[in-house]
Amino acid sequence: MARGLSPRRPAKSGRHERTRPVTRGPAGRSANAARDGSKRARAPKRASKPAAKAAPAKTVAKAGKIKGYNPLAPERIQGILRDLDALYPQVTCALHHNNAWELLVATILSAQSTDANVNRVTPGLFAKYPTVQDFAALTPEQLEPEVRSTGFFRNKSKSVVGAAKKIVSDFGGEVPSDMEQLLTLPGVARKTANVVLGSWFGKAVGVVVDTHVHRISRRWELTTNDDPGKIEQDLMKIIPQDRWILFSHQVIHHGRNLCVARKPKCADCPIEPLCHAEDKTWTTVDVHKAAKA
């Protein structure tokens, strides 16, 4: 540029020197739309050649629809079980108890509460009322102050006292070891019955589906159901029966330690290569749209 000359500034009209004029017509509108993102432009009605198909963008895949991928493949299930064994080889029930009755009470109290909170409440509770007969002699109102910190204490008090009375009157003061009989007790559904049967009596008649098992089995694509009863049935089909008790304990501990509800610790999880959960915080594999808690 010659000395003393300054570059021309853009004209206020928008028409500048050496600029390419905007092409008018259908083809021009399409070209301009591609450049400036305008949605009003229309594609030309006729093209001399069929337009080449654009490469599909990388999207989140749908579980069960990926070619060659089967989330329930035996080798994948075995891989998950091996990793759980390596992480939690000797894990047991997290609720502290000394007999079947204490485990039953602790499990009833654990609904909508944490095991840690229940374990803070039960030592004093069982010291004050050592036997099932002691509980049967109470009214729900007498028990309420003792279990208030576990939440929903009125309903829980009714369930515990009601279960104690029925055990004393119908089962000779002994917690029954049969699923059908356990389900007749107030406050006892399949989850509670499975905990007592598995952890105390060593009977694998079902899979415990608590909040952790519910969340993680969906993340791992072991089920697409949201109902605990249906999730249990799905797990019973793919997990060997001799692993039902241990599997529940391992997944519950995994849900507390690594596979937490919010911001799971995927980078620290050895099961991560087998997990395609949509809400992973770190991944080395594709994530699947249906794999979510």
- The number of beta carbons lying within 10 Å of the beta carbon of residue 162 is 17
| 24: three-class secondary structure by DSSP | coil
Task: Describe the crossing of helices 74-87 and 244-257 by its angle, rounded to 10 degrees.
Answer: 70
- The number of beta carbons lying within 10 Å of the beta carbon of residue 71 is 20
Helix or strand run (H / E) with residue 28? helix 26-36
Q: Which has the closest alpha carbon to 231: 211, 261, 209, 216?
A: 209
Q: Which has the closest alpha carbon to 286: 53, 55, 71?
A: 71
- Alpha carbon separation from 80 to 22, 90, 236, 284, 289 (Å, rounded): 60, 16, 15, 16, 20
Q: What is the DSSP letter of 264?
A: -
Single-letter amino acid, residue 179: M
Q: Which residues, listed in sequence order, are joined to residue 288 by a DSSP beta bridge?
A: 61
Catalytic residues: 191, 210
Q: Which two tokens stand for residue 102?
A: 């204490």
